[in-house]
Amino acid sequence: MPYHVKVLPHAERSFRKLKKTHSRLCKEIQSYILNDLPNDPRPHGHKKLSVGGYRIRFGDYRLLYNIDDDAKTVYIADVLHRSDAYRFL
């Protein structure tokens, strides 16, 4: 059974900013979120973060998300440049 994906408000703002400068990358990430992540929330190449949650690389950007297995839901927390992604973790 596929997971539901919910994009948190902060991640939506990050997507809007990213779309202005990196529209192709933004489309790639959105396609991944809609098509691949619901079926496999822990794909090959994902990394579990020490503070909880996961990250997936998209070039110089990182998709940060959490998984609630009981509710079968993936929460997209943020999309950040790699230099900013781990600053607050």
Has residue 86 been placed in a domain? Answer: no
Q: Into how many domains does the chain fold? A: 1
Tokens for 50, please give them. 């020490």
**Which contiguous run of DSSP H or E holds residue 17?**
helix 9-21
* pLDDT at 89 > cutoff 80: no
pLDDT at 50: 81
The whole domain housing 27 covers 4-81
pLDDT digits (tens, 9 = 90+) for 13-27: 999 998 888 989 999
Within its chain, how far is the Cα of 62 from the centroid? 7
Q: How far apart are CA 1 and CA 15, in angstroms?
A: 27
Has residue 32 been placed in a domain? Answer: yes
pLDDT digits (tens, 9 = 90+) for 29-85: 999 999 999 999 999 888 998 878 999 999 999 999 999 999 999 999 999 998 888
Give, in order, the Cα–Cα distances in Å from 78 to each of 16, 55, 56.
11, 10, 11
Going by C-alpha positions, the residue among 12, 39, 40, 42 that lies closest to residue 26 is 12
pLDDT at 5: 96
pLDDT at 88: 61
CATH of the domain at 55: 3.30.2310.20
